[in-house]
């Protein structure tokens, strides 16, 4: 009996460890998974004292299907300016580098039934694609 309890405990621990290793994109909605693929597209951009909202709109024009939301209520200013140049880099790298200096981050909203499902939300954080739990 003790051996059975020990085996069941061990199995539960192994299952818990495996579940903890599940990657964020395994839990994504289809819209969020599609957005993650868009982040792999390579583009070139050049921003010199450009409003953040305009810079994000330019990325949106370059990448069909790319949608974003600036968290203005959370303190992200549409009017803050950015200066950044990238040649043939992925959108993911561009967002990482572009948002680093103004201390911003981004997440991909992944909530089934949510009107914003699949959008990239730029917010005051250090997050890079996945919300911190």
3-state class (DSSP) for residue 88: strand
Relative to beta strand 42-51, strand 81-90 is antiparallel
Strand order across the beta sheet in which 105-108 lies: 68-70, 120-123, 105-108, 128-129
Beta strands in the chain (DSSP E): 42-51, 68-70, 81-90, 105-108, 120-123, 128-129
Model pLDDT for residues 43-89, shown as the tens digit of each residue? 999 999 999 999 999 999 999 999 999 999 999 999 999 999 999 99
Look at residue 83 in the predicted model and tell me its pLDDT.
96
Tokens in use for 130?
Answer: 């996945």
Give the model's confidence band at 16: pLDDT under 50 very low, under 70 low, under 90 confident, else very high.
very low
Which CATH class for the 25-129 domain? alpha beta
């Amino acid at each position: 009996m003790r051996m059975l309890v020990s085996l069941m405990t061990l199995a539960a621990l192994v299952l818990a460890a495996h579940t903890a290793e599940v990657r964020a994109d395994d839990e994504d909605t289809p819209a969020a998974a599609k957005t993650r693929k868009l982040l792999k597209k390579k583009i070139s951009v050049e921003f010199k004292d450009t409003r953040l909202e305009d810079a994000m709109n330019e990325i949106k024009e370059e990448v069909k299907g790319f949608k974003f939301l600036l968290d203005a209520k959370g303190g992200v200013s549409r009017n803050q300016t950015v200066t950044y140049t990238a040649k043939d880099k992925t959108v993911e790298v561009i967002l990482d580098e572009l948002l680093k200096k103004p201390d911003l981050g981004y997440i991909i909203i992944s909530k089934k039934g949510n009107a914003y499902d699949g959008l990239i939300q730029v917010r005051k954080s250090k997050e890079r694609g996945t919300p911190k739990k």
